[in-house]
A and B are shown apart, each in its own frame.
Chain A
Amino acid sequence: DTGVSQDPRHKITKRGQNVTFRCDPISEHNRLYWYRQTLGQGPEFLTYFQNEAQLEKSRLLSDRFSAERPKGSFSTLEIQRTEQGDSAMYLCASSINPEHEQYFGPGTRLTVT
Chain B
Amino acid sequence: GEDVEQSLFLSVREGDSSVINCTYTDSSSTYLYWYKQEPGAGLQLLTYIFSNMDMKQDQRLTVLLNKKDKHLSLRIADTQTGDSAIYFCAESIEDSSYKLIFGSGTRLLVRP
Complex: how many Å from CA A48 to CA B103? 19
- For B30-60 the 0/1 string (1 means CB < 8 A from A) is 1100010000111111001000000000000
Q: Report yes or no: A56 in contact with B97, Cβ–Cβ below 8 A.
A: yes
Q: Considering the complex, which residues of chain B in the window 59-80 have a beta carbon less than 8 Å from any beta carbon of chain A?
A: none
Within 8 Å of chain A (Cβ to Cβ): is B12?
Answer: no
The 0/1 profile, CB within 8 Å of B marked 1, for residues 77-113 of chain A is 0000000000000010101000011111111010000
Number of A-B residue pairs with CB-CB distance less than 8 Å in the complex they form:
58
> Interface SS of chain A: helix, strand, loop or mixed?
strand
- Given A42-B90, A100-B31: A105 and B100 interface contact (C-beta under 8 Å): no
Q: How many residues of B contact A (CB 8 A)?
A: 25
Contacts of B99 in A (CB 8 A): 33, 45, 48, 56
Contact, CB under 8 Å: B42 / A104: yes
Q: Please report the total number of A residues contacting B with Cβ < 8 Å.
A: 25
Complex CA distance for A62 and B40, rounded to whole angstroms: 26
| Cβ-based interface call for B85 (8 A) | no
Residue B88 at the A interface, CB < 8 A?
yes
B residues engaging A (CB < 8 A)?
Answer: 4, 30-31, 35, 40-45, 48, 88, 90, 92, 94, 96-105
